[in-house]
Amino acid sequence: MLQYFLKRLLGLIPTLLLVGALVFLFVHLLPGDPARLAAGPDANAETVALVRQDLGLDRPLAEQFLRFSGGVLRGDFGRSLRTKRPVSTEIAERFWPTFWLTVASMAWSVVIGMAIGIVSAVWRNRWPDRVGMTLAVSGISFPSFALGMVLMQIFAVQLGWLPTVGADTWRHYILPSLTLGAAVAAIMARFTRSSFVDILQEDYIRTARAKGLAERVVVIKHGLRNALIPVVTMMGLQFGFLLGGSIVVEVVFNWPGMGRLLVDAVDMRDYPVIQGLVLLFSLEFVFINLIVDVLYAVINPQIRYR
Amino acid sequence: MTTATNDPSVAMEVRTPWTEFWRKFKKQHAAVVAGLFVSLLVVLAVAAPWIVPYDAENYFDYDSLNALPSAQHWFGVDSLGRDIFSRILMGSRISLTAGFVSVAVGALVGTAMGLVAGYYEGWWDRIIMRVCDVLFAFPGILLAIGIVAILGGGMVNVIVAVAIFSIPTFARLVRGNTLALKHLTFVEAARSIGASDWTIIMRHVFPGTIAAVVVYFSLRIGTSIITAASLSFIGMGAQPPTPEWGAMLNEARADMMTSPHVALFPSVAIFLTVLAFNLLGDGLRDALDPKIDRK
């Protein structure tokens, strides 16, 4: 098991290096001179030259990349052009609200999505299935920003049950996590259903029924465990969807997270912040996928011995 | 009446892949309705400049700001006095173009990459799949935001960003199919009579991947329309006063408290359009997937 984990971890290194290189090159792909961007629009030529030297932008590209990578490994992403504070401080303040928002969304959407999927598969082509799958296809078709606006209008503005913006108490998490998780719940429901429909036709399910087990036991013990295998893989992919989706949802709810920070940074062309955030978002995603792969190997022993 | 059995056209009926597909597809009522809806949308989008009742960007009715729907303004009026119905109609051109063009480019490049990777394997495969891994390492919309940050805002750049975002999924899909197809007997037969790689790929392997690509294409258009609208919503895509649906929703946020109907119509427009593409994709999948018959 440990060997498998280490093998997967080492396999990530080339991807991580390439991601890092792309994020590093990002500054040089930006139209215009990064030194001028950093110095501000009113700076004269000498100031720009000074800033260029200060940021090391006059050095050869390879040296710059080494410096960038060294900085990243020490958690140093440079300073924000807008606030002049270290990017790592800026991001650290915004990390947890986004993290908890995605975790909360993931938790409810997996539970609800799988429940809908199982119910739909067990009562296939009957009314619970039709209701469940209509909900699911609507869920993947409704854009999150529109859903967020609708939920906010109804539950925060009209009814006044929940707060509109901010991230102070658990009550603040309800609407944003509902908004963010809706599409994932819908995808999980569709995926669980199709996985379950396949499993319910397997011979061992027929055997379980034939030996007189209660249908509940057949579905939960024999069906669920086997249907979970592809569903877990899907969860990893969906986490990426949530991380990306949080960017849009945070704008709707004015959430003090990394997504909101990223949108502001792109607006202000604050490239060190953009670099740091893009890198962090991808790192988080890559590591979540690693964890999912390992979980997958725990559930399904066949994988480990390949 | 025995004419039906004597009818030569019934007796001679040949089950081509097309008739087989149509036989299965027309049973999916939701998908057929969705397909008709998509066709209607395309017609409306093409005809929009000639049928809109008001100019979408430059007509201002200052006497009825934020007015509710009425006979003059079917979907009401927005906070600047513009006719929402006309804006939705003109916006359909933008969203459909963005959805279709970005997925078409993504599918074209992705399919080519997948065919090469799957057919040649070895180094080509490793390089192409590594590129896909890297593109996949940026979660969801983040890759598109990064590209827009480099290229700048605007709808054309959004289309480029969403196209790049679609490439790796098509590449993986087609590569998987190619790997399975190239060991089949008819491919080996073609190789044994000396067909070139190009002929084998285009005539024998590529047709086998089309079904999967078509299904994914339709499902992906929905995602791409949402992604493009999301980018406009967060201010990185189409800019006001362009009647792009996501940008319209963003503009409507300010008056959400007093006139929620201004936000309602663009939301419904995005929802119905994406829903139609998703239902159509589901129907195509069920009609093209040979596994479905077994069940």
Q: Which candidate, B241, B245, B252, B248, places its Cα nearest to that of B228?
A: B245
Mutate which: B29, B219, B234, B262, vs A, most A CBs within 10 A: B234
Residue A6 pLDDT: 84
**CA separation, residue B166 to residues B163, B214, B216 (Å):** 5, 14, 10
Q: Find the closest chain B residue to A157 by CA distance.
A: B257
Is A285 near chain B, with CB under 8 Å? yes
Is B148 near chain A, with CB under 8 Å? yes
Contact (Cβ atoms closer than 8 angstroms) between residue B100 and residue B58: no
Mutate which: B95, B150, B248, B257, vs A, most A CBs within 10 A: B150
Contact (Cβ atoms closer than 8 angstroms) between residue A115 and residue B239: no
Chain centroid to Cα A134, Å, comes to: 25
Is B253 near chain A, with CB under 8 Å? yes
Mutate which: A13, A247, A274, vs B, most B CBs within 10 A: A247
Of A141, A153, A248, the CB nearest to B234: A248
pTM: 0.85
Look up residue B68 and give its DSSP letter.
Answer: P
Residue A132 pLDDT: 87
Residues sharing a CB contact under 8 Å with residue A30, sequence separation 6 or more, in sequence order: A37, A269, A271, B149, B150
Mean pLDDT (chain A) is 83
Of B142, B150, B234, the CB nearest to A281: B142
Inter-chain contact A241–B246, Cβ cutoff 8 Å? no
Inter-chain contact A149–B263, Cβ cutoff 8 Å? yes
Q: Is A258 exposed, middle or buried (0-12, 13-18, 19+ CB in 10 A)?
A: buried
A80: left (phi over 0), alpha (psi -120 to 50) or beta: beta
Residues sharing a CB contact under 8 Å with residue A3, sequence separation 6 or more, in sequence order: none
Residue B56 pLDDT: 72
Partners of A79 in the beta sheet?
A: A86
Of the listed ranges A108-122, B105-119, B136-150, the least confidently predicted one is B136-150
Contact (Cβ atoms closer than 8 angstroms) between residue A98 and residue A256: no
Mean pLDDT (chain B) is 83
The string of pLDDT tens digits covering residues A281-292 is 888 888 888 887
Is B235 near chain A, with CB under 8 Å? yes
DSSP character string of B172-186: HHHHHHHHHHTTSHH
Q: For residue A40, is pLDDT > 80?
A: no
3-state secondary structure of A295: helix
Inter-chain contact B152–A201, Cβ cutoff 8 Å? no
Residue B3 pLDDT: 46
Alpha helices in chain B (DSSP H): 3-6, 8-11, 17-25, 29-51, 84-120, 122-136, 142-151, 155-181, 185-192, 197-199, 206-233, 245-252, 261-288, 291-294
Is A81 near chain B, with CB under 8 Å? no
The single residue listed with the structure tokens 């501000």 is A40
Is B27 near chain A, with CB under 8 Å? no
Inter-chain contact B235–A267, Cβ cutoff 8 Å? yes
Contact (Cβ atoms closer than 8 angstroms) between residue A117 and residue A132: yes
Where is pLDDT greater, at B45 or B294? B45
Contacts of A251 in chain B (CB under 8 A): 233-234
A79: left (phi over 0), alpha (psi -120 to 50) or beta: beta
Where is pLDDT greater, at A169 or B115? B115
Residues sharing a CB contact under 8 Å with residue B274, sequence separation 6 or more, in sequence order: A140, A141, A142, A143, B222, B225, B226
Residue A112 pLDDT: 92
Q: CA A281 to CA A91: how far, in whole Å?
A: 11
Q: Which two tokens stand for residue A60?
A: 């050869």
Is A99 near chain B, with CB under 8 Å? no
Of A26, A31, A142, the CB nearest to B152: A31
The string of pLDDT tens digits covering residues B96-125 is 998 999 999 999 999 999 999 998 888 989
ipTM at complex level: 0.83
Is A11 near chain B, with CB under 8 Å? no
Other beta carbons less than 10 A from residue A256's beta carbon: 17
Contacts of A140 in chain B (CB under 8 A): 222, 274, 278
Q: Which two tokens stand for residue A279?
A: 């890198």
Is B275 near chain A, with CB under 8 Å? yes
Of B136, B139, B256, the CB nearest to A149: B256
CA dihedral A124, A128, A134, A135 (to 10 degrees): -130
B19-36: average pLDDT: 85
Inter-chain contact B271–A15, Cβ cutoff 8 Å? no
**CA separation, residue A290 to residues A4, A17, A276, A296, B180 (Å):** 11, 16, 21, 10, 27
Q: Which candidate, A168, A178, A298, places its Cα nearest to that of A233?
A: A298
Of the listed ranges A38-42, A108-112, A172-176, B209-213, the least confidently predicted one is A38-42
- Residue by residue, what is the 3-state secondary structure of B73-109? CCCCECCCCCEHHHHHHHHHHHHHHHHHHHHHHHHHH
Q: For residue B6, is pLDDT > 60?
A: no
3-state secondary structure of B234: coil
The string of pLDDT tens digits covering residues A135-168 is 888 888 999 888 888 888 888 877 878 877 776 7
Residues sharing a CB contact under 8 Å with residue A203, sequence separation 6 or more, in sequence order: none
Q: Find the closest chain B residue to A12 by CA distance.
A: B133
Inter-chain contact B274–A145, Cβ cutoff 8 Å? no
Contacts of A154 in chain B (CB under 8 A): none
Q: For residue A304, is pLDDT > 70?
A: no
Residue B256 pLDDT: 77
Is A262 near chain B, with CB under 8 Å? yes
Mutate which: A15, A140, A248, vs B, most B CBs within 10 A: A248
A181-194: average pLDDT: 89
Inter-chain contact B140–A143, Cβ cutoff 8 Å? no
Residues sharing a CB contact under 8 Å with residue A261, sequence separation 6 or more, in sequence order: A90, A91, A94, A273, A277
Is A290 near chain B, with CB under 8 Å? no
Of the listed ranges A57-61, B136-140, B182-186, B289-293, the least confidently predicted one is B289-293
Residue B113 pLDDT: 94
Inter-chain contact A244–B139, Cβ cutoff 8 Å? yes
Residue B293 pLDDT: 44
Inter-chain contact A145–B230, Cβ cutoff 8 Å? yes
Q: For residue A238, is pLDDT > 90?
A: no
Q: Which two tokens stand for residue A134?
A: 């209509």
B60-76: average pLDDT: 74
The single residue listed with the structure tokens 């397997």 is A202
Q: For residue B2, is pLDDT > 70?
A: no
Is B152 near chain A, with CB under 8 Å? yes
Chain centroid to Cα B207, Å, comes to: 21
Is A160 near chain B, with CB under 8 Å? no
- Residue by residue, what is the 3-state secondary structure of A147-158? HHHHHHHHHHHH
Contacts of A145 in chain B (CB under 8 A): 229-230, 233-234, 246, 249
Q: For residue A306, is pLDDT > 60?
A: no
**CA separation, residue A216 to residues A209, A221, A222, A244, B162 (Å):** 10, 8, 10, 37, 44
Look up residue A114 and give its DSSP letter.
Answer: H
Inter-chain contact B263–A146, Cβ cutoff 8 Å? yes
Inter-chain contact B138–A278, Cβ cutoff 8 Å? yes
Q: CA B238 to CA B233: how far, in whole Å?
A: 9
H or E element, residue B141: none
Residue B4 pLDDT: 47
Q: Which candidate, A223, A229, A231, A240, places its Cα nearest to that of A191?
A: A231
Residue B292 pLDDT: 47
Q: Find the closest chain A residue to B273 by CA distance.
A: A141
Contact (Cβ atoms closer than 8 angstroms) between residue A87 and residue A276: yes
The string of pLDDT tens digits covering residues B225-245 is 999 999 988 888 888 888 888
Residue B276 pLDDT: 92
Q: CA B29 to CA B242: how far, in whole Å?
A: 36
Other beta carbons less than 10 A from residue A116's beta carbon: 25
Residue A258 φ/ψ, nearest 5 degrees: -70, -30
Contacts of B130 in chain A (CB under 8 A): 14-15, 18
Look up residue B62 and give its DSSP letter.
Answer: G
Q: For residue B9, is pLDDT > 90?
A: no
Q: CA B160 to CA B170: how far, in whole Å?
A: 16
Contact (Cβ atoms closer than 8 angstroms) between residue A43 and residue A51: yes
